[in-house]
Copies of this chain bind each other. A is one copy, B any other.
């Protein structure tokens, strides 16, 4: 029997959050439904951050209210603090994700707190998750490279992973936040983490900035990782910075793993449709690295139909 890979779709949150064109809740739900049709069963659906800081996520509660109520789908919400947690619970969220950037400079830039201060705050949130029966995940962000501090030592990632798991996080999303990791580094880091806590405790969150996301995903799968964050069409990144790449594309990871004998439960042609929805909603040209392959297949089919 084929081994399963779970792709957690983060397009609705990490993909959309920095996009300048506001996508209203019904658009976000249309995209979610297209992705559900394609077989996605895990979503980071929104984040309960400050609407002033991230206007695109201001309708988090509306999104959660409108998502299909299905037992076979997990919807995650990012919460930045206890206030966000309150809002998320009020909106009916059952799965909560926290982002701990593991270098002080990055965490200060991001939320004006040291890593230690954030960790203490998240320990409180994780305690409430346990009390409320809420599933929890912690991102260990800038786990490969920090834009301010350079390469992140493996020990640093180990330390904060330990801290978040000890505080009750059910798993850890190891994030190559700026897409600067290399396959060598990925193997070293992931094998260390898996050696300490087992592969089930980890998800890998990649950005494709340097075009190595798929390779890193493969390397991690070889180390036993079976959960990956990805974003439809590679949506993400900052549209104002030319060439700044987005998340690992859902279709790239799904295609690679499916064609390599893993089961993702995803229908690749359904993803093609979802990319179209995402393009219409954002006004962007999207599509992962397999887009050229898709286009060539469609051209062949069109020719055959003539």
Among A34-42, A169-177, A237-245, the one that faces the other chain is A237-245
| Chain B min CB distance to A214 (Å) | 5
Interface residues of A in 209-256 (CB under 8 A from B): 209-212, 214-215, 218-219, 241-245, 252, 255-256
Among A71-79, A89-97, A287-295, the one that faces the other chain is A287-295
Main secondary structure of the interface of A (DSSP, over half): helix
Q: Mark A154-191, 1 if CB is under 8 A from B, else 0.
A: 00000000000000000000000000001111000000
Q: Mark A255-288, 1 if CB is under 8 A from B, else 0.
A: 1100111000000000000000000000000001
Q: In the assembled complex, which residues on chain B have CB atoms less than 8 Å from the CB atom of A120?
A: none
**Contacts A214-B214, A218-B219, A241-B299 given: A293-B256 contact, CB under 8 Å?**
no
Instruction: Pick the residue among B241, B260, B296 that contacts A184 (CB under 8 A).
Output: B260
Q: Report yes or no: B299 in contact with A242, Cβ–Cβ below 8 A.
A: yes
| Chain B min CB distance to A251 (Å) | 10
Q: Report yes or no: A211 in contact with B214, Cβ–Cβ below 8 A.
A: yes
Q: Report yes or no: A243 in contact with B211, Cβ–Cβ below 8 A.
A: no
A214 to B217 Cα, complex, angstroms: 12
A212 to B245 Cα, complex, angstroms: 18
Q: In the assembled complex, which residues on chain B have CB atoms less than 8 Å from the CB atom of A295?
A: 242-243
Instruction: Pick the residue among B241, B244, B293 that contacts A243 (CB under 8 A).
Output: B293
Q: In the assembled complex, which residues on chain B have CB atoms less than 8 Å from the CB atom of A252?
A: 211
A293 to B183 Cα, complex, angstroms: 17
A245 to B244 Cα, complex, angstroms: 23
| Chain B min CB distance to A147 (Å) | 12
Q: Report yes or no: A183 in contact with B243, Cβ–Cβ below 8 A.
A: no
| With A182-B261, A183-B260, A211-B252 already in contact, 7 other A-B pairs whose C-beta atoms are closer than 8 Å | A210-B290, A218-B219, A241-B299, A243-B297, A243-B299, A244-B296, A245-B293
